[in-house]
Amino acid sequence: MAERTCIACDGTGKQVDDEGWQYQCSVCHGRGKVNDASETKVMHTDENNRLLD
Ligand SMILES: [Zn+2]
């Protein structure tokens, strides 16, 4: 299964908010890497939740 560096945390496994609080990355769950398939699924808009013009 292909893995790549998590773009949300840049591979650190942590995210930092505007006030400097650190917390576990919600995308990779602190691993710093994500599966291509799983992140793609997150970024796709659900068919049942699509936006209509
Ligand atoms: Zn991450």
pLDDT, tens only, 9-47? 999 999 988 999 999 999 999 999 998 765 555 555 556
What spacing in Å lies between the alpha carbon of 52 and ligand 1's midpoint?
31
What spacing in Å lies between the alpha carbon of 3 and ligand 1's midpoint?
12
How far apart, in Å, do the first and last CA atoms of the chain sit? 37
Q: What is the pLDDT of residue 36?
A: 77
Residue 25 burial by Cβ neighbours in a 10 Å radius (0-12, 13-18, 19+): buried
What spacing in Å lies between the alpha carbon of 18 and ligand 1's midpoint?
17
What spacing in Å lies between the alpha carbon of 41 and ligand 1's midpoint?
15
What spacing in Å lies between the alpha carbon of 53 and ligand 1's midpoint?
33
Q: What is the pLDDT of residue 38?
A: 55
